[in-house]
Amino acid sequence: MANAIEATDLVKTFKGGVRALEGVSLNVEEGTVFGLLGPNGAGKTTAVRILTTILRPDSGSARVLGHDVVHEAAAVRSCIGLAGQYAAVDENLTGRENIRMIGQLTHLTRKAATARADELLERFELTDAANRPLKTYSGGMRRRLDLATALVDRPPVLFLDEPTTGLDPYSRVAMWGVIEELAAAGSTVLLTTQYLEEADRLADRLVVVDHGRVIAEGTSEELKASLGATVLDLNMGDDVRAKQALDVLTGRWPREPVLAGTTVELQLDGGARTVTEALGLLDEADLIPTTLAMREPSLDDVFLALTGHGAEAEEKEAVT
Amino acid sequence: MSTVAIAGQFDAAAQRAKTTPWRAVLDALVIMERILIGYTRIPEAVFFSSVQPIMFVLLFRYVFGGAIHVTDIPGGYVNFLMPGIFVQTVCFGSVQTSIGLAEDLQKGIIERFRSLPMARSAVLAGRTLADLVRNVLVVAIITGVGYAVGFRIHSVPGFFAGVALLLLFAYCLSWGFAVIGLSAPNSETAQVMAFPVLFPLTFAAGTFVPVSSMPGWLQGFATYQPVSETVAAARALMVGGPAEAADHVVWMLGWCVGLLVVLEPLAVRRYRTRT
């Protein structure tokens, strides 16, 4: 399948020498959801602003549906929709007026824009609030309206810049549902997020960016696999038994078990066989675990391993 | 139905209005409508923006007016004052252009506009057009107040010609305030930045007192600067008097062309480069 978005070596430096992007390349296949994952200040928003023609890159190039974002900006603009983390809508206008205005500016006729506004308001459960100024909307409602506005002319490519940042858990799950629906309907979605869970759930492929560079790329499964295998957590109930279990299990597999409190963590390179062996050895030594659990490494583990500073590092996003 | 509602085939082309050379004008009108609707949603702001000029009318008519002597204007000081008040009001109103643009930048809505296939000029043109419409309304209100305190026009066509000139001037000036708005870090600062430009322009002028009463070193500036020329042209057209309207109209139109030629490209450039 063709690529809907192609970016090659994007570099952007802001006034004052802030290097927002230091050579970012990415390819997004048509009809897929692509995650751009990274902490605040990683350069995610800058990348989105370049791809949506708001900013020009210092060097490098990018194409959206084959149109160059610098030289064919007008063509790019007529096939994209953008919903930002700042919910860029007009406070004084009502929900309906906001969607209609953007519809008219994407050159729908006034009549078509009005009809489309009603359709979207209904879909996003904003019909009751349609004639109220945005000032009276909650954060979640604003975000929904912002997204509805981005969909007004049914753009084939969507850019969602941190669509769930600051939302309550209920609104977040509702937003995920909408994004999944868009993907199912064949839209190409580029999504930025600081939430590993979100990228894990929504994105077909993702890149991890940090300090303006891509530091990992793949499906979330691949990224997790690159970190390691499934982990078996054996909770022994107390420190003494945990220490004994560790001794019993040490020296038998390529990856040594590690102790975390009363739990022994064992990486299962050998799959289910390792589980059987480990439990057999513990049984012989009369060391029966109180509980046991198997888990996949989380994207949080991936992030920590890749960046060395976890996903929650607070840094101000470069905005001028 | 929900999937159909949010995405589906790219069928917008069928619904799109035809692309014509009028596109930029239509886009500007959409932006203008947006801003005017905004004004109706904060009636307090509109109310207080007309209270200030009413206060100026009353202040100069009844408090300072008695101490200011004009001899050559038919109808006396109130007729001298009112054209000045009109011009001062529309000039002060231009600050709204700065504040509004700075606010739009701050709130990120201009970012969204940049990502749309709309005319680049529409954000600025729509804003200045909206402020022009607001000025028409404010001038109408002030005319009513002026009439209540004794302002009498010389001729109706003259009055409307005067109004047209001062609206044109305000429109040209608002491009300058657009530059300020696009240069300010936020809307509060935009307002503070606008006033040092506005005060000398509106007060060191023949707006409220005759220029002849000012010290010699100031008279040169106060006579020929754009606000004074606009006031003088409007005054001659609206209430008559010894001044030759034609001279001032020519000067004033010259200023308008000058302001527009310099400020419009400057504003558009600031808009393009501001990120």
Q: Give dist(CA A235, CA A229) in Å, integer.
A: 19
A38-77 residue pLDDT tens:
888 889 999 999 999 999 999 999 999 999 999 999 899 9
CATH architecture of A229-296: 2-Layer Sandwich (3.30)
H or E segment and range at residue B266? helix B245-273
A 91-130 residues inside an 8 A Cβ radius of B:
91-93, 97, 101-102, 104-109, 112, 116, 119-120, 122-123
Q: Give pLDDT, residue A89.
A: 83
Q: C-alpha B121: how far from its chain's center?
A: 18
Contacts with A103 from chain B: Cβ below 8 Å: none
Mean pLDDT (chain B, rounded): 87
Task: Decide if pLDDT at B71 tops 50.
Answer: yes
Q: Whole-prediction pTM value?
A: 0.80
So what's the architecture of A3-225 in CATH?
3-Layer(aba) Sandwich (3.40)
Cα B110 from Cα B104, distance rounded (Å): 6
Contact status, residue B97 vs residue B174, Cβ threshold 8 Å: yes
> What percentage of residues in chain A have a pLDDT greater than 90?
52
* Neighbouring C-alpha atoms within 13 Å toward the C-beta of B43: 0
Q: What is the mean pLDDT of chain A?
A: 87
Task: Give the gap in angstroms from C-alpha B52 to the nearest C-alpha of chain A.
Answer: 23
Lowest pLDDT segment from A238-242, A266-270, B249-253 = A266-270
Which range among A14-28, A284-298, B185-199 shows the weakest confidence by mean pLDDT? Answer: A284-298
B30 neighbourhood in chain A, CB within 8 Å = 101, 104-105
Provide mean pLDDT across the span A152-170: 90
Write the residue in A77, A149, A153 that is nearest to B12 by C-beta: A153
pLDDT at A315 over 50: no
Q: Where does the pLDDT of residue B161 fall: very low under 50, low under 70, confident under 90, or very high at 90 and above?
A: very high
Percent of chain A having pLDDT more than 70? Answer: 90
- Quick one: what percent of chain B has pLDDT higher than 90? 51
- Please give the residue of chain A at the shortest CA–CA distance from B271: A54
Q: For residues B3 and A184, what is the distance between their CA atoms, to the nearest angstrom?
A: 8
Distance of CA A90 to the CA centre of its chain: 26
Q: Tell me: the pLDDT tens digits for B31-60?
A: 999 999 998 998 887 777 788 899 999 999
The tens digit of pLDDT for each residue in B187-221 reads 889 989 988 989 999 998 888 988 888 998 999 89
Q: What is the pLDDT at residue A197?
A: 82
Closest CA to B107 of A89, A320, A248, A318: A89
Q: How far apart are the two ends of chain B, measured CA to CA in Å? A: 39
Domain locations in chain A as residue ranges: 3-225, 229-296
Give the mean model confidence (pLDDT) for residues B223-237.
92
Enter the tokens of residue B32: 């203008």
Give the chain B residue nearest A98 (alpha carbons). Answer: B34
Long-range contacts of A181-185, Cβ-Cβ distance < 8 Å, separation of 24 or more: A181/B2, A181/B3, A181/B6, A181/B7, A182/A151, A182/A158, A182/B6, A182/B7, A183/A31, A183/A32, A183/A33, A184/B3, A185/B3, A185/B6, A185/B7, A185/B8
Residue-range domain boundaries for chain B? 17-273
pLDDT the model gives residue B43: 83
Which of A22-31, A241-250, B236-245 bottoms out in mean pLDDT, i.e. has the lowest? Answer: B236-245
What is the model's pLDDT at position A314?
Answer: 41
ipTM rounded to 2 decimals: 0.82
Contact B17 A109 (CB under 8 A): yes
CA angle, B35 as apex, A76 and B234 as ends, to 5°? 125
pLDDT bracket for residue A87 (50, 70, 90): low
Option in A93, A102, A107 nearest B38 (CB): A93
Q: How far is B6 from chain A (nearest CA, A)?
A: 7
Give the pLDDT band of residue B3 (cuts 50, 70, 90).
Answer: very low
Distance from CA of A142 to the nearest CA of B (A): 13
Q: Rounded mean pLDDT of B141-162?
A: 92
What integer pLDDT is reported at residue A132 of this predicted model?
94
Q: Are A158 and A65 in contact (CB under 8 A)?
A: no
The tokens describing B169, both together, are 């001037």
Q: What percentage of residues in chain B have a pLDDT greater than 70?
A: 92
A186 touches chain B (CB under 8 A): yes
In 3D space, the residue among A181, A201, A215 whose CA is nearest the CA of residue A26 turns out to be: A215
Give me the residue from B15, B37, B113 closest to A108, CB to CB. B15
Task: Give the span between the Cα atoms of B19 and B119, in whole angstroms.
Answer: 11
Q: How far is B116 from chain A (nearest CA, A)?
A: 5
pLDDT at A227: 64
Q: What is the pLDDT of residue A15?
A: 84
Distance (Å) from the C-alpha of residue B48 to the closest C-alpha of chain A? 18
pLDDT for A180-239, tens place per residue?
999 999 999 999 998 888 888 999 999 999 889 998 899 888 877 766 667 888 999 999
Which chain A residues have a beta carbon less than 8 Å from that of B114? 52-54
Option in B30, B41, B275 nearest A101 (CB): B30
Which residues are CB-contacts of A60 (< 8 A; sequence separation ≥ 6)? A7, A8, A9, A10, A11, A23, A24, A25
Nearest of A278, A280, A296, A288 to residue A242 by alpha carbon:
A288
